[in-house]
Amino acid sequence: MISFEEARAQILASVSPLGKQEVKLTKLLGSFLSEPVTAAQDLPGFDNSAVDGFGVLVSDVHSATADSPARLHLSGVIRAGDPGNLHLAPGNVVKILTGAPVPHSVDAVVMREYCEESNGYVYVRQAADRGENIRRKGGEFRQGQVVLQQGMRVTPPVIGLLATLGYSSAPVFKKPRLAVIGTGDELVKPGRPLACGQIYDSNSYALVAAAKGLGIDVCRSYLARDDFDSTANVIRLALRESDVLISAGGVSVGDYDIVKDVLEDCGVHGLFWKIAMKPGKPVYFGTLDSKQGSRRKLVFGLPGNPVSALVTFHELVAPALRKMMGAKSVLPQTLLVTLGQTLKKRPGRLEFVRGSLVLEEGAMVVRPTTGQDSHMLGGLSQANCLIHFPADEEQLPEGSQARVDLLDWSH
């Protein structure tokens, strides 16, 4: 049995990013940039107004107040989309709307709330500093400057920024194709009647959802029975159609736990089986170096208990998938927070306690959720983090600082 840290290090050492491709904006969400993105132009591209107001010369309004406004002639209007090539002479203002170009001759834009328009004149009730309410050309980015780093996840603001720069596509890493296999004679698809002793298959659905949450588009699911030949058939088919195979169940030490043997019969090279973690002890990990030219495939045999399957996915599979997808940061986000309740266990295994993290009187406090057994999805459903209870510790006292991994199923 190896430590959790060693297991994750071995998995990550076996993974490298997939190839690169150019992808349209509308299909980019959830990918990772394979190149740094530079500004194709200055941003903003021209001086423009941050507000609806009036363009003024600072010298015309320097003594303007609410009681003694400056009376200035309205010389025109510049709307968003106008070219804005107008010269503002002393004694004049120009109405400028938000996002409209601000001519060079305009010193500042006074918000319309401080101005009153009447019969071709504008009463300006406030002085202005040079540059006030003007967003300068290149004020955010200069042409050629790196604006997004390689390995960044494409989020909605990243897509917005790419569009703002005029890019209709971006270079990103390819995403792996996944196969998820549920195993067990007891499993029935939800929606069908259950016979005595049967249960509904939840792992296939939860693991596919977890993969989709990570941004993976191709994820097929299969069900295998607890006999060698049918499991082998399903695994061979799934391996052909995927870069990463995740099975759940049948990997422990029971009489029908055949997944590990079947995988190795299919040519998978095992790197480890069993990790000193809870939940998730029987995790199996291996690789398959298939035919020439095709990539090394990753194979995870996750435990069948639904909480174990999802926790091991979150802690071990997701980092590997992120690395394949070219992510710069692949591990779950961690925080140090105050433990709101004493935790106890036997020493030996790193325990991931399902936790609920809340803000209490200005401090982040974490407590275990109700339902900590590895078949209790209720406890995981309520959790927003996993509390690290280190392998060698037997007690974590209330009030002490605990490390938590944030549970984020969409990242």
Query: Which amino acid does the sequence have at 20?
Result: K
Stretch that binds ligand AMP, among 29-37, 116-124, 141-149, 202-210 (CB under 6 A): 202-210
Q: Nearer to ligand AMP by C-beta: 186 or 261? A: 186
Whole-angstrom distance, CA of residue 362 vs CA of residue 393: 28
49 interface partner picked from ligand AMP, Mg ion, none, CB below 5 to 8 A per type:
none
Q: Say if CB 83 and CB 101 are below 8 A apart.
A: yes
Q: Nearer to ligand AMP by C-beta: 332 or 379? A: 379
Q: Which residues of 131-162 are buried (b: 16+ CB within 10 A; e: fewer)?
A: ebbbbebbeebeeeeebbebbbbbeeebbebb
| 3-class DSSP state of 190 | coil
Whole-angstrom distance, CA of residue 350 vs CA of residue 124: 68
- Residue for token digits 């609920």? 356
Write each residue from 244 to 263 as x if it is in contact with Mg ion (CB under 5 A), else as -, in one continuous string: -----xx-------------
The only residue of 44, 69, 151, 184 in contact with ligand AMP, by rule CB under 6 A: 184
Shortest Å, Cβ 376 to Mg ion: 18
Q: Say if CB 117 and CB 125 are below 8 A apart.
A: no
Q: Say if CB 218 and CB 199 are below 8 A apart.
A: no
Stretch that binds ligand AMP, among 8-16, 68-76, 302-310, 323-331 (CB under 6 A): 302-310
Is residue 303 within the footprint of Mg ion (CB under 5 A)? no
Q: Nearer to ligand AMP by C-beta: 244 or 385? A: 244
Element at 308 (helix H, strand E): helix 306-312
Is residue 249 within the footprint of ligand AMP (CB under 6 A)? yes
Structure tokens at 336: 């140090």
Q: Nearer to Mg ion by C-beta: 84 or 282? A: 282
The only residue of 60, 201, 351, 405 in contact with ligand AMP, by rule CB under 6 A: 201
The only residue of 10, 38, 202, 233 in contact with ligand AMP, by rule CB under 6 A: 202
What residues are paired with 366 via a beta bridge?
A: 339, 357
| Binding residues for ligand AMP (CB under 6 A) | 182-184, 186-187, 199, 201-204, 248-250, 252, 254, 303-306
Interface contacts to Mg ion, rule CB under 5 A: 184, 249-250, 304
